[in-house]
């Protein structure tokens, strides 16, 4: 199968493929999604097959306007409208209890709930409208590997397996949306996956406490939302997290072990390790925003480096605000492994 790159002028062609049950990857503000009609079980089955994704892992349904929820959701949480008014379109996914049989069970992972989001990307919103149906959109990559933040990443993983890719350059945020569980209208909202919309932002809008589910789902458990597995987003090369004060010790340990080290870092750390590292992926500055935007691209670039690296070191950040989303992805990419000096 030829995988075609679509631009703005070819939205009609891409939408027609989706409406007929084909797969087209699309851009969002977070990462690229692998699009298929959420109403066609055979199309959704292809998504699982192409990604190599476990079928118990539910998919997020992408819509172009809040009104598209109506066929699926009838008992909304009292906070739902406020959240949609404030954060949609944007990187917030909401989980609702849905009407029986309103979505194919292959979309929901067999659950009585489903996740919905309205992405902040004008091309993709237009694509959903032209397809005239909601789209599933898990990250457009091989399951478990770093998510794609450019059309080139999608092409690397899925060329020849899907009909097309709607190209809109590099994504703005770089990690997947915040997932908020609103499935019980009588219960407080619960963050199942952190993202760019932080706990603090949600609480400021809702004027109430928002809970955070810290549970890590093992391979034998069925997650309620994507990205909850214990290990996820991982390249083939082992990843290790390094705290600010430990870089010198970490590089010395790697040298002693005769390991070829790749480093993801901003300019300050990069300057500190530049003589010891075999390869460096440089974030555009030292901020958590830069690290978040560059994390998946950096993991991919170093994993595929001609230097044939033995280990990847990545910096840590405080787990508040966007740092919670960054550390959530990094911990799973590193299989929870921190460098610790003996």
**DSSP notation for 134-198:** -EE--BSSSTTSPPP-SHHHHHHHHTTTSSEEE---S-SS-SPPEEEE---TTS--EEEE--SS-
Q: Peptide bond before 71: cis, by omega within 30 degrees of 0? A: no
Hunting for tokens 């705290």 — which residue is that?
243
Q: Partners of 239 in the beta sheet?
A: 312
CA dihedral of residues 149, 152, 157, 163 (deg, nearest 10): 110
- Residue-level pLDDT at 217: 63
Please give the Cα distance from 113 to 52 (Å, whole number). Answer: 23
DSSP annotation of 67 reads G
pTM, full prediction: 0.94
Mean pLDDT for the stretch of residues 276-281: 97
In this prediction, what percent of the chain has a pLDDT beyond 90? 89
* Residue 57: pLDDT band with limits 50, 70, 90: confident
Question: Residue 179 — φ and ψ, nearest 5°?
Answer: -110, 120
Q: What is the overall mean pLDDT for the chain?
A: 94
Question: Hey, what domains does the chain have and what are their CATH numbers?
Answer: 4-212 (3.90.870.10), 238-333 (3.40.50.11030)
Specify the pLDDT at position 1: 87
CA distances from 206 to 69, 124, 128, 193, 254 (A): 21, 28, 29, 18, 47
Q: HSE (CB half, 13 Å, CA atoms) of 107? A: 29
Give whole-number Cα distances, 120 to 49, 143, 283, in Å: 27, 24, 24
Region 140-163 average pLDDT? 96
| Rounded alpha-carbon distances, angstroms, from residue 8 to 12, 113, 166, 190, 301 | 9, 33, 8, 37, 28
Q: Answer yes or no: is pLDDT of 229 > 60.
A: no
- The answer to whether 298 and 313 have CB atoms below 8 angstroms apart is no
What pLDDT band is residue 63 in, cutting at 50, 70 and 90? very high
Instruction: Indicate the SS3 state at residue 94.
Output: strand
What's the pLDDT at 56? 74
Token pair listed for 306: 């001609």
Rg (CA), the chain: 20
């Amino acid at each position: 199968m030829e995988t075609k790159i679509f631009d703005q002028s070819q939205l009609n062609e891409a939408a027609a493929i989706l409406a007929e049950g084909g797969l087209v990857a699309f851009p969002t503000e977070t990462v690229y999604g692998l699009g298929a009609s959420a109403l066609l079980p055979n199309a959704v089955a292809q998504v699982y097959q192409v990604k190599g994704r476990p079928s118990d892992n539910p998919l997020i349904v992408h819509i172009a306007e809040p009104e598209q929820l109506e066929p699926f959701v009838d008992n909304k949480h009292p906070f739902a409208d406020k959240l949609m008014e404030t954060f949609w379109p944007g990187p917030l996914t909401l989980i609702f209890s849905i009407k029986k049989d309103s979505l194919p069970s292959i979309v929901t992972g067999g659950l009585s709930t489903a996740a919905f989001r309205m992405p902040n990307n004008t091309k993709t919103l237009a694509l959903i409208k032209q397809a005239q149906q909601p789209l599933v959109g898990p990250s457009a990559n091989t399951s478990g590997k770093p998510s794609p933040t450019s059309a080139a990443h999608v092409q690397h993983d899925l060329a020849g397996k899907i009909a097309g890719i709607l190209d809109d350059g590099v994504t703005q945020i770089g990690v997947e949306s915040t997932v908020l569980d609103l499935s019980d209208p009588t219960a407080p909202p619960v963050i199942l996956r952190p993202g760019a919309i932080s706990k603090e932002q949600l609480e400021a809008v809702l004027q109430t406490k928002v809970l955070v589910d810290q549970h890590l789902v093992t391979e034998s458990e069925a997650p309620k939302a994507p990205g909850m597995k214990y290990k996820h987003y991982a390249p083939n090369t082992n990843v290790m997290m390094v705290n600010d004060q430990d870089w010198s010790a970490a590089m010395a340990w790697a040298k002693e072990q005769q390991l070829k080290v790749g480093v993801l870092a901003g300019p300050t750390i990069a300057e500190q390790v530049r003589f010891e590292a075999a390869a460096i992926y440089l974030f555009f500055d030292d901020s958590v925003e830069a690290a978040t935007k560059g994390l998946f691209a950096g993991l991919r670039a170093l994993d595929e480096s001609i230097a044939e690296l033995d280990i990847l070191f990545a910096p840590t950040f405080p787990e508040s605000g966007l740092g919670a989303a960054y550390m959530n992805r990094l911990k799973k990419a590193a299989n929870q492994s921190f460098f610790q000096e003996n």
